[in-house]
């Protein structure tokens, strides 16, 4: 199924309003709380690793501007 072929449409995931403060940043979220934030994913990984065991299980996410249509999350 190609990008322009008819088929299943994936609805975008809306960004949580709590993340408005972090627009343009990579954040690590654990239990609904931002535990680290950085301008690049590489810097975020370094911050999360430095927190050790308490950060285990955090999910990394880029916080786009509300006008952007793509949300990227990794975990």
Q: What is the pLDDT of residues 53-67, one digit of tens each?
A: 999 999 999 998 776
> Do residues 13 and 71 lie in contact, with contact meaning Cβ atoms separated by under 8 Å?
yes
pTM assigned to the model: 0.68
> Do residues 24 and 65 lie in contact, with contact meaning Cβ atoms separated by under 8 Å?
yes
Q: Where are the extended beta strands (E) located within 1-75? A: 26-30, 33-38, 59-62, 73-74
**Arithmetic mean of pLDDT over the chain:** 82
């Amino acid at each position: 199924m190609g990008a322009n072929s008819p088929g299943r449409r994936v609805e975008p995931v809306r960004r949580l309003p709590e993340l408005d403060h972090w627009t343009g940043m990579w954040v690590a979220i654990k239990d609904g709380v931002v535990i680290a934030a950085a301008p690049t994913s590489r810097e975020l990984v370094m911050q999360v690793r430095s927190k050790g065991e308490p950060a285990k299980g955090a999910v990394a996410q880029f916080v786009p501007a509300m006008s952007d249509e793509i949300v990227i999350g990794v975990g």
